[in-house]
Structure 1
Amino acid sequence: MTALSSPGYTEAGQEVFGQVEHFTDRRDAGRRLARAFAGRRIERPVVLGLPRGGVPVAAEVARALGAPLDVLVVRKLGLPRQPEVAMGAIGERGSRVLNDDVLRLGGISAATLAEVERRERAELEARVSRFRGGASPVELTGRTAVIVDDGVATGATARVACLVAHELGAASVIVAMPVGAPDSLAELAAMPEVDEVVCLSAPGGFMAVGMHYLDFAQTTDAEVQRILEAARSGDDAPG
């Protein structure tokens, strides 16, 4: 686990930069999160926002790092009768990771797995089209994937994203968020695919991400599109 110089370091291995309780909005949170990377040299970074709320946060981090910005669209492959239990996950370009233990214990046939994947991949591709349009994804092979969300509650989406980024060839994976539940951060930090977890605030009484924002209005598909288009064109001045 790579360590940053910070006021606190938890036993789980994640950095906690102070105890910021409230952010004005996602842009403000992103600017504060970006400062956690100040002065660092990150090898060939690509900043990946988790749609939708993570994208405005990620845009500020990408600007500070001078790194390309993209989205990382992922889908969990849930058991047919227990969709909350992940038997795997999928991402773009055919990436797929499977939980062999869950597949075996669930008695999942190849045909059942294929049907679940077909359904989830259709939804994944629809979301990719909405968010990115016809633009190609940023290549991750051999690069540092900096995965950013607006906060982590259960951590399920972030864990899936880390697996998929690793599957897509990222040389290292950093997960960053303004606020998170301590237990979920510990689970992320324990993943072999994760090299580092950066979090500004991990309050012991964590209840919900939105409670730590003064403005937590839903990020729209159109806003994600605008942010990505601006980043690709270089017109990414703060809004």
Structure 2
Amino acid sequence: MTSELVKWRDALIAAIEERQIQPVFQPVWTIDGTLMGFEALTRFPNGSPPDRVWALAEDQGLVEQLDAVALTAAVQDAQTLPGKLFLNIGALYLAWIMQWEHGTDPARIIWEVTETDPLTPDGAATVGRLKNRGYAFALDDAGTGYATPHQLYALQPQVVKLSLNMVHQWHRGHVQPLQLWIRAAHAMGATVVAEGMEDRAWLSTLAAEGVDAIQGYAMGKPQPAASWQDASRMFKK
């Protein structure tokens, strides 16, 4: 076993058994500068990359346990934050949400269904039941992995998040994929969020394309909840 794998395994065990996990939050802004909410992300005390730890959890059959720790910690830390709370979930684990006790109004939560797995017919049925409970959904990283037009129509999300790669390709002049996704999302009444915002100079041109909201390092890096107590002023800095 390599030293990196040992590190990732230690992070996984410490998270599940000892709740050693650090939620951080990145703001999502409407294109005109109104705070829409925050996406919750996970950091591990030993510095392990989150994607590697979740991949290891997948291999070990521990995704639901890791999700439970990470999402519960995120909800607890986000209690003082304004706006919606975006939480990531794989399409294969949607049924788990039905039993999750979190003490938060479902109307505050937007589930970002990640690009890692296809949405099965059973998963689509679960999405319908969760929507009836008041939850909203986002298609995460549109245009990558399983976040395809087929997944878009199966999920019928309230939010579509355009992937960082798509936004960066648009900036380099490859505009058609972004424009096609915006049209498809708006046709079903979804809000379009452009991820990967690295330059505020893109704001006006993205607005002209029809993007409704933005997220990225230029608009705020992921930070602990305490760093965002005055988030409403951050957009103007």
Q: Report the TM-score, using the length of structure 1 for normalisation.
A: 0.30
Which structure has greater helix proportion?
2
Greater relative CO (CA pairs within 8 A, separation 6+):
1
Q: Report the TM-score, using the length of structure 2 for normalisation.
A: 0.30
